[in-house]
Amino acid sequence: MSYYKHHIFFCLNQRDNNEAACAQHDSQGAFEHCKAAVKKAGLNGPGGVRVNKAGCLDRCAGGPVAVVYPEAVWYSFVDKTDIDEIVQSHLRDGAPVERLRLAPDVGR
């Protein structure tokens, strides 16, 4: 058994050359909101959910992005409501949010 049931990584990458990057879409705010929502739901800690920052996940064209492991489900999101849905449906109940899944061919 894994130390955490789920790991969610948020790309917080920022580029100085005006190329697309998740930081342009307030990925830091989404990360912070997710961390607070996971804690509020009592999902954090060993056996639960770990919310992590990540550098470039190389899927910039779909940004902002997050990925949930161990299932390797990639998400693109717009606002805090989307993050709440990921927390409740996927991280709490184990059902990925299909409408927020990032298309498999989206890359940099």
d(CA 103, CA 5): 24
> Does residue 107 belong to any structural domain of this protein?
no
> Does residue 106 belong to any structural domain of this protein?
no
Q: Which structural domain range is residue 46 located in?
A: 6-100
> Does residue 57 belong to any structural domain of this protein?
yes
Using CB atoms within 10 Å of the CB of residue 1, give its burial: 0 to 12 exposed, 13 to 18 middle, 19+ buried.
exposed
pLDDT band at 47 (very low <50, low <70, confident <90, very high): very high
> Does residue 108 belong to any structural domain of this protein?
no
d(CA 6, CA 22): 22
Domain count for the chain:
1
pLDDT band at 67 (very low <50, low <70, confident <90, very high): very high
pLDDT band at 108 (very low <50, low <70, confident <90, very high): confident
